[in-house]
Amino acid sequence: MAVFSPESSLVAEVIPSPNHGERKNGVQPSLILLHYTGMPDAQAALAQLCSKASEVSSHYFVFENGHIVQLVHEDRRAWHAGVGAWGGETDLNSCSIGIEIANPGHEHGYPDYPKRQIAAVTALCRGIVARRKILPHRVLAHSDIAPQRKQDPGEKFPWKVLHDSGLGLWVPPEPIVEGPFFSLGDRAIAIEEMQMHLHEIGYLLEPTARYDGETMAVVAAFQRHFRPERVDGIADASTRMTIAALLKAWRAVRDAPPPEPAA
């Protein structure tokens, strides 16, 4: 495996993974995907990402203590996203940079993310965004692009911390209150409107006015990222109002004039 120089001054060491290829059609990275490792032992997770037999990898790996390892050069297509979609893009490996965050995940106790680890992830993302000219709101969860398969980095990941550092799209979640809700099997025009809003934000979801399994998975993914207090896939008033607030924020970002070029 060819050794390369780290692309971030935050990288403590380079451990090359053999699992990468060409970015298709010359695509440049335009988003960052955050994952958790989902394994009890961080070293074992790192070893798997560097094993040719596993056929998985990421560009970066962040240990609980903030130690950062680079596995794949950013110019290369790491194998971290799998099948998924965002904003109409389906080859997410080609257009993204993947960061694996050491955390056992939902199947192994799912502990809180240490502050040192989050500080390292935040600083790493800020550097990538600046260096690669990635729009700051295009820092996403693995569960956002693959709602029916993935839960990571999960509802304990502190997205507000990243947002306060200029990364990611985020709005304060609306409080949970008793009231009408939509769940599996329901049909309504309001469901179709919600599906259209989630699709506009970027989720792969067609407006059908039916609350089916796909809709429930997308709503749960949205909750993990933007309304983490209760993740149940049910479109209660809090979830629907938070979706509306996020859509407003997304449209403001989309419609903002491009920044002035540097003098």
Residue 261 has pLDDT above 60, yes or no: no
Question: What are the CA-CA distances from residue 123 to residues 10, 127, 165, 210 (Å)?
Answer: 8, 6, 9, 41
- How distant is the alpha carbon of residue 219 from its chain centre? 15
Residue 259 pLDDT: 66
Which is it for strands 68-70 and 60-62: parallel, antiparallel or unpaired?
A: antiparallel
* CA pair distance 39, 48, nearest whole angstrom: 10
The 10s digit of each residue's pLDDT in 32-90 is 999 999 999 999 999 999 999 999 999 999 999 999 999 999 999 999 999 999 999 99
Contact (CB, 8 A) for 167 and 139: yes
Domains, the chain, ranges and CATH?
13-164 (3.40.80.10), 189-255 (1.10.101.10)
The 10s digit of each residue's pLDDT in 227-259 is 999 999 999 999 999 999 999 999 999 888 876
Average pLDDT over residues 184-200: 98
The 10s digit of each residue's pLDDT in 120-174 is 999 999 999 999 999 999 999 999 999 999 999 999 999 999 999 999 999 999 9
Residue 138 pLDDT: 96
Average pLDDT over residues 205-214: 97
Catalytic residue among 7, 100, 155, 174: 100
Residue bearing tokens 């694996």 = 100
Q: What are all long-range contacts of 116-120, with beta carbons under 8 Å and residues at least 24 apart?
A: 116/64, 116/65, 116/66, 117/62, 117/63, 117/64, 117/65, 117/66, 118/158, 118/161, 118/162, 119/66, 120/10, 120/62, 120/66, 120/67, 120/68
Residue 3 pLDDT: 84
Average pLDDT over residues 5-26: 96
* Catalytic annotation present for 100: yes
Question: What are the CA-CA distances from residue 19 to residues 32, 41, 52, 193, 211 (Å)?
Answer: 18, 21, 6, 41, 38
Residue bearing tokens 């094993």 = 51
**Of residues 231, 191, 197, 237, the one with CA closest to residue 211:** 191
The 10s digit of each residue's pLDDT in 87-103 is 999 999 999 999 999 99
Residue 258 pLDDT: 73
